[in-house]
Structure formats: structure tokens, C-alpha cells
Amino acid sequence: MDKYIINGGGRLEGSVRVQTAKNSVLPILAAAVLTDEPVTVLNVPDITDVRNMVKILACLGCKTTYSGNDLVIDSSSANNCEIPRALAHELRSSVFLLGSVISRFRRAKIAYPGGCDIGIRPVDLHLTGLKRLGVNISEKNGYIECQCDKLTGNEIMLDCPSVGATENIMLAAVTAKGTTIIKNAAREPEIEDLQNFLNSLGAKVVGAGTGSVVVEGVEKLGGSVYQPISDRIEAGTFLIAAAMCGGEVELLGVNAENLSSLLHKLRENGCKLRIKNDKIYIRSDRRPVSVKSVETQPYPGFPTDLQAQMTALCTVCCGNSIITENLFETRFKYVPELRRMGADITVVDRSAFVRGVEKLRGATVVAHDLRGGAALVIAALAAEGNSEVLDISHIDRGYAGFEYKLSSLGAKIKRVGI
């Protein structure tokens, strides 16, 4: 078990390249099961979630090899349709394998998936969509068992625009007979990225990024070499860190359009932003101004995965802010930890009422989930004195070399074993 030791209070200066998107790579790796030809995914981030997904692929019989940061998946020898309980509990995104394994083998068995404890994340929408494609589903002893003689395209209306359900249905529908239309589909950039990857295999998918995704089933898919999009959540984390600590930071390899809701808030904070091609430059040279209200919403609204980091920023702003979490009901577990650092936050139901203080102070805090842990790190970077952030294994799930990138910007942070 490792922890971070952070000496805060310094500015951030320099440039950093944004990693490939975790939330694109994981469903793309799941989609590699769809074909018996080799797939190469470029610039795969070295994070725990990817390592766990690779272990699951190996359990299914896939062969995976690294060439530098590129991952080659050969699913031609895949012969197992069961995803082990231990690995499913480690990785929420293991649920994506339901759609791809069913599409390839017409049967699948998976334990209920795990991941960060940020609230109830039912798979009901996933299962309802799969049933509409002709999948018979039984749930017993903590497992979901699926089987079908054939997959048949259908019209599927999602009760809410779930990212996971949209992607899972896309994966199952690519080899279904006929046409599938997913209505009220989620619009996140990672869904469009999955569409583009599937089409590179020979699938026929259109509409991703809008509320209606159309999948025309094909009989067989081929191989591909594919570069996923950059990680907008990692990019947002570094932008918020710069706003909170002060300084000048340039992000490389990022799509600013995918971060428009955050960039709007940072301008409200008083940050100076400059965008050119795939670069975002941010300068923060005074105490940030509070944003009156932030509400998490499905894309293109403010992302729930940046809510904790934004709350951390608001703790040192001039004035008061209200942060409302509309997607996950227990995503304020980091708040007591921020209070240890001197933050003035009151949580009522799904809203955090933040009264800005001039400075946070160093403390020992515990990361309870991935994004909350990242928020504690950037809060510690801005605080006066020394901090320790414990249980950073959560952070390792989504940020590759987090401490090295921050150190390259001048942060005084080091990882030590406990």
C-alpha cells in the first residue's frame, strides 16, 4: 500500500501531455473480443483498470502483448465466456464484456461488477437493452448469465442516457441480424470513439455523439490499429490543479471541445485560457473567484468525474459556491477529508455548500475513490504545509504516473510505501 507525501503551497509551471482516455480504452479493449483478428490499441495508459481488463481478457482466452505503450489483443483463441468474480469486482468496466462476449459467442456469465464506491450503479438498463436484442438473462448467486440462439436488431429506448448501457448495447448489436436503434443514447465523446473503433473493424455504426445511435449488424469483423481519444478527465484535473495552485500550465494532446463545460467555469473563476489546435494554456495568478453553481449532468453538461476536483477548487475561491451531484448519490465521501484541511463545506442531500477560505492547511487524508482521491491531491498541492494522501491505489485506477506529471510541473509530491 502506497501513499503520497505532498509539500504544498507552490505554483505549477510547465507543460504536460494528456494520456489516452481511460473511459475510451476500457470499452475498446472489451470490443476487441468481437473479432478473431489482431487489434492494436495505441498509447494505452498504464493504470490499474487497464491491467485488470487485460487480466479478464486473458481469462477469456485472449492473448495480449505490449509493444512499448501499444497493446496488441489477439482474441482468435478466446474460448471462455465466464468473467471471474474476483476480477469483475475489481473493475466496473468488466460489464462491457457482456455485450461483446454475447455478440461473439451468444452466451456470457459475469459476476456483478465493482469499481469505486460512489453510489448505486445498477446494470438494469444494460440488461433491458440486451433482452430487446433477444438475449435470455437469469440472475442468481451474484452472477448474470446470458444466452441466446441469435441476436436480432431492435429499437431500444433508454430510460436515461446511460454511458455504459449505450456502449454495451452497441457492442452486442454489431453482429445482430438487422438494425438496432438506441434512442435517448448517451452523448459522451468516448461513445463516439467506440463507434469509430468498431467501424475500423468493419462495423456499421452511425449517430454516436447524438441521442440516437443506429447499428446495422454485420456477419464478421476484422482487425484494426487504433488511437483512442485523449482523457478529458485527466486534462480537467490538471486544469483545475493549475487554477487552484496558481501558475501557468500548458496541456498537450487535448480536445478543448470535450471540456467546454469546465472551461466555461474556469473562465468564471478568473483564469486566463488560450486554446490552439490540441493545446490548452491556462494562467492563474490570483485567488480564484467563486462560481455560484455547478451541477453535474450527462454530456455536454458538467462531468460528474470532475465534480470532486471542482469542489476542491471552490474551497479556496473568493465567495460561496453550490455543487450539486445529480448522477451518483454518494460521491461526496471526500468532503470530510477536505474539512480536515480547513475547508468549509456543508453537504445537504445531493448538494455541497462551499464557503471559500483563503488557504487550506496540510493534513493526513484518505482517498475513498478515484476522482475524490485526485481532488485531495490537488487540494494538498494548494495547501500550506505537508500532507499525506493514503489509499492512493484508487488514484492508480485512472491516472498513469500522476506524481511524475505533477512533479514535472514543479509540484513537491512523492510516492512512498507504507
Q: pLDDT tens digit string along 310-336?
A: 999 999 999 999 999 999 877 899 999
The residues carrying an active-site annotation are: 116
Question: Looking at 75-129, which runs of residues are DSSP E strands?
Answer: 82-83, 107-111
**Which pLDDT value is given to residue 95?**
81
List every span in the chain annotated with CATH 3.65.10.10: 2-19+230-417, 22-226
- Nearest to residue 286, comparing CAs of 250, 246, 316, 317? 246
At residue 124, does pLDDT exceed 90?
Answer: no
Of the pLDDT bands very low, low, confident and very high (cuts 50, 70, 90), residue 75 is very high
pTM for this entry: 0.96
Of the pLDDT bands very low, low, confident and very high (cuts 50, 70, 90), residue 118 is very low
Query: In angstroms, what CA-CA distances link 177 with 48, 94, 123, 180?
Result: 36, 25, 24, 9
- Nearest to residue 261, comparing CAs of 224, 291, 290? 291
What class is the 2-19+230-417 domain? alpha beta
CATH number of 22-226: 3.40.50.300, 3.40.718.10, 3.20.20.70, 3.65.10.10? 3.65.10.10
Question: Residue range 86-109: average pLDDT?
Answer: 86
At residue 114, does pLDDT exceed 70?
Answer: no
Task: List CB contacts of 141: < 8 A, sequence separation 6 or more.
Answer: none
Which residue has better confidence, 140 or 294?
294
Task: List CB contacts of 276: < 8 A, sequence separation 6 or more.
Answer: none
**Which pLDDT value is given to residue 51?**
95
Task: List CB contacts of 183: < 8 A, sequence separation 6 or more.
Answer: 155, 156, 157, 158, 211, 212
Task: Report the C-alpha gap between 131 and 135 in whole angstroms.
Answer: 5
At residue 205, does pLDDT exceed 60?
Answer: yes
Residues of the chain with pLDDT > 90: what percent?
89
**Which pLDDT value is given to residue 326?**
94
At residue 256, does pLDDT exceed 50?
Answer: yes
Mean pLDDT check: name the lowest of 74-88, 182-196, 235-249, 390-404: 74-88
Q: How far is CA 93 from the centre of its chain?
A: 10
> How many other CB atoms are found less than 10 A from the CB of residue 119?
15
